[in-house]
Chain A
Amino acid sequence: MIVVQNLTKRYGETAVVDDVSLTIQKGGITSLIGPNGAGKSTLLSMMSRLMQPDAGTVEIDGMNVFSTPSDTLAKRIAILRQQNYFEARLTIEDLVTFGRYPYCKGRPTIKDREHVEQALEYLELTSLRHRFLNELSGGQRQRAFVAMVLCQDTDYILLDEPLNSLDMRHSIAMMQQLRRVVTDFGKTVVIVLHDINFASWYSDQIVAMREGKLIYHAGPEVVITPQALLELYDVDVHVETIRGKSVGVYYGGANEMQVQQTQDIRDRLAAQLGRS
């Protein structure tokens, strides 16, 4: 169980994460959604001890994330952020093998190698294992990093917009694999998602943020609704139920504030023209 209490992070005057408290139960997929600047990535970074907070605590399975030794945590939680680039030339296999580092400290045993094989197969990377990371497409690189994280075999997996470079097929495959590790191995996945429909389709719970504050923490049936989405995104979203899941159609939705502003300007112009 992940327990976040009063977590705050400030840049200058602005609170990027503003006094957020929440509890994520073990097992299942929890999505983190919200508009740009909502603080989702920052929250995830703090939860995984990658960033120090200005206030608040995070406990995972009773361990204080900011004081527990990093390598104890590494066997319990795995975090993958968006930008992952480094100078060194490594092959996919090298990278995925690093996922076993918390256990073997760089000297992989046979069991470790088995985990690596499994992870490579899971993400359809076996034929690419000897290719260097900088020779791959964005999608292939992304899958390699997720394979590393899966190889790490942790109870909690935190992912920051992992679908970003993936095409349709691979996005679906990734989400299905995540669902599978949850069902088969009882893992807990916390994932920042841009697309509300992927969130709705695959999550058990959704955490919705806006401007640093926690707005909703509930199931998709509560969060993926027109009122909630308007509150979060300032966009009119039409929600339908398809195969028992809420799906939002927002492509043509007018931004309510914009409509009001346009109307205001029209009124003022009309008034001025009327006067002169």
Chain B
Amino acid sequence: MLGNVASPTTGVEAPALKFGPKVRLLVLFLLAAGAVTLFMTIGSNGNWDFIIPFRGRKIVSMVAVGFAIAASTILFQTITDNRILTPSIMGFDALYMLIQTVIVFSVGTVQLVQINARMLFLFEVLAMSAFAGALYWMLFIQSDRSLHLVVFVGIIFGVLFRSLTSLLQRMIDPTEFAVLQDIGFASFNTVNRELLALASAVIFVVLLVIWRMNRVLDALLLGRELSVNIGVEYRRDVMIVLTMVTILVSVSTALVGPITFFGLLVAHLAYQTIGSSYHRYTIPAAALYSVILLVGGQMILERVFNFNSSLSIMIDFAGGLLFIMLLLREGRKR
């Protein structure tokens, strides 16, 4: 990127960046690789036959979900031109909980765990994607409303779904409720093996699609009017991006449950430290931060706190708080 080179001939004031985005990405990659290695090897006692598949699966799920959350948040923020929103506020997790609750309500938790995991997974992903797709289509394509309105409508549906969920939950026996609650809160420990392979494949494909359109994404940073001016097929491309975002959020929610604010945290860490607004740097940076925080966080949880689940509640909680602080700090700088 030209922006990093001082120009002696014109006496240009060179930017303060000491290291370009590529170097920074490398540093992040090394940190992430280090975290993963540590996770795999710490306290292992040489028991490799067990450790590699067991911990390896956790790593794969954290990497897959981490990438999905990071990418979907950054994409969503680019197309809404707003760095405070996250795609998961649009009621995906509410729909997810509603589906789970309806199942528990109608057939009980025993039946829930007996349903073919893959079928349930696909059903949930499809339901969430269909809901979101219908929403976008009606508002964005058919009647040309702003994206903020689409998000808002999504949120209201989220409240609707949540109301219905809490209604059903009141009618569920407390022990069933406890099981439901645990499903509601994500756990990287209990990710189903078959699901993981399927989910990872889906995420990988979506990330490929995103990678191919990374320059278009950069153009979308300019907002609707300027990007149309330079020849972007705005509605088509935004629909594609929204679809990718929806799939990523649905897959990660179905895999490990709702994680709402973690994406915000890693997105802002990326924006503030990678030194570029271009997606070829910000998305990988956010993805690497995800891996570092998730793997590191899980290690701390297991070794220091002896929790055995709910990394994501902690992450959400920490992510939410840190995010507010970041926001206020950013605001003070302006």
Contacts and interface: CB of A to CB of B under 8 A. Distances in A.
Interface string A83-110: 0111111110111011101100111000
B3 A86 contact: no
A78 interface: yes
A71 B231 CA distance: 4
A130 B13 contact: yes
B11 interface: yes
A127 interface: yes
In this complex, the interface size class of chain A, counting residues with CB under 8 Å from chain B, is 35 or more
Nearest to B77: A87
Contact of A101 (B13, B77, B223, B230): B230
Nearest to B221: A88
A90 B223 contact: no
A98 B230 contact: yes
Given A93-B3, A105-B215, A87 B230 contact: no
Given A93-B2, A127-B11, A102 B223 contact: no
A81 B12 contact: no
Contact of A130 (B12, B215, B232): B12
B222 interface: yes
A86 B226 CA distance: 10
A87 B83 contact: yes
Interface stretch (A48-56, A167-175, A181-189, A219-227): A48-56
A86 B232 contact: no
A75 B231 CA distance: 8
Interface in B199-246: 214-216, 218-219, 221-223, 225-226, 228-234
B270 to A, nearest CB: 12
In this complex, the interface size class of chain B, counting residues with CB under 8 Å from chain A, is 20 to 34
Interface in A36-89: 48-50, 52, 69-75, 78-81, 84-89
Contacts of B222: 86, 88, 95, 98
B231 A86 contact: no
A129 interface: yes
B14 interface: yes
A94 B3 contact: yes
Contact of B225 (A72, A84, A87, A88): A84
Contacts of A98: 219, 222, 226, 230
Nearest to B271: A89
A70 B233 contact: yes
A203 interface: no
A152 interface: yes
Given A91-B3, A98-B219, A84 B226 contact: yes
Contacts of B11: 127
B176 interface: no
A80 B229 contact: yes
A50 to B, nearest CB: 6
B231 A87 contact: no
Interface string B1-34: 0110000001111110000000000000000000
Contacts of B231: 70-75, 101-102
A95 B219 CA distance: 10
A61 to B, nearest CB: 16
Contacts of B3: 91, 93-94, 130
A86 B233 contact: no
B232 A71 contact: yes
Interface string A133-154: 0100000000000000100100
A126 interface: yes
A107 B215 CA distance: 8
Contacts of B218: 106
Contacts of B232: 70-71, 101
A88 B13 CA distance: 21
Contacts of A48: 229
A127 B228 contact: no
B82 interface: yes
B283 to A, nearest CB: 13
B233 A69 contact: yes
Given A70-B231, A99-B230, A127-B12, A81 B277 contact: no
30 contacts: A75-B231, A79-B229, A80-B229, A84-B225, A84-B226, A86-B221, A86-B223, A86-B226, A87-B77, A87-B81, A87-B82, A87-B83, A88-B277, A89-B271, A90-B221, A91-B15, A93-B2, A94-B3, A95-B222, A98-B226, A101-B219, A101-B231, A101-B232, A105-B215, A106-B218, A126-B10, A127-B11, A127-B13, A130-B12, A149-B229
Interface of A: 48-50, 52, 69-75, 78-81, 84-91, 93-95, 97-99, 101-102, 105-107, 113, 126-127, 129-131, 134, 149, 152
Given A88-B78, A98-B230, 9 more contacts: A50-B225, A52-B144, A70-B228, A70-B231, A74-B229, A74-B231, A94-B277, A126-B10, A126-B12
